[in-house]
Structure 1
């Protein structure tokens, strides 16, 4: 009886240790949870953002957006400035650089805490809708439209010449739309030059 109890406790401890190791090996929590729960106010200097983006730091398109480890936000209300602020940050909310840019127009402010629909599930729906089961996303941008007030998940799929085709998914309405051909990746240098804003 005592041996069985010892072996039982040992088995539970080994299973717990194995589970802990497995959790530690995960690169990041699900992107949706990270975006929804992150305290972005110190980075954005505001309670609101205009764009929230994720991509691979190695610039490698992924079939699973939860593997993205490089992040950007654009803030429309930077205290004391008429301009917007773009901030580059990582998975532990460390500021990797920022700069002022011309006002980012065409989208509405939103709180990252409003992101509830799973971003990877949205990507799966886009792939099914457009018949591209093997597609990989270079990046994804979340924003709120001015005309509908709904959040949009903007998946950027590589096409050619370093360009990407936008595939837009609106979780609340279940709507899909083809967007424009754009740069695949965000950077502090590229964003804010060439066009005033986003849809």
Structure 2
């Protein structure tokens, strides 16, 4: 009988030891799970606090418009009501050397606008609208002073209009800008022609 009692005691002890082992395993697994969750949560929080990556700014529409505008050709056709908006006045006498004492309007340096005025002036000159052409050449010299092409074209227009003194000044002005330019020979011939015409016009006045 004594051996039965001892076997019962040993089975009870083994059961208790198994229960304690199971309890320890469960507690350790819980601890490991808690640690894994804490690590995951800390990594997720660090990812949330990380600043977003900087993206390259998109290309603006103005830069594309500027690049496309460089490839555009200058439209030489005159706008509507151009003759009304640009009357043949001599208020902007850019070719004259003498300046008035009045305060003049400030115009920025704009070679593109000056070239536009020269081309529209050529348009009027070919159609013998010399007054409108003169006004456009003067405007070109306002936006780009000492422009050789605008200066000699203005001189040619003034010669057509009989403004011989101003024409001679602008022919000479072209030679000052480009003494050996492509139109220098033509400018010299024009100066001689204008001087001869001026002397012819002054002879009747002397006789009177």
TM-score bracket, normalised by the shorter chain, equals: under 0.3
Relative contact order (alpha carbons < 8 A, sep ≥ 6): 1 or 2 greater? 1
TM-score, normalized by length of structure 1? Answer: 0.23
Q: Which has the larger share of helix?
A: 2
Larger Rg: 2
TM-score, normalized by length of structure 2? Answer: 0.23
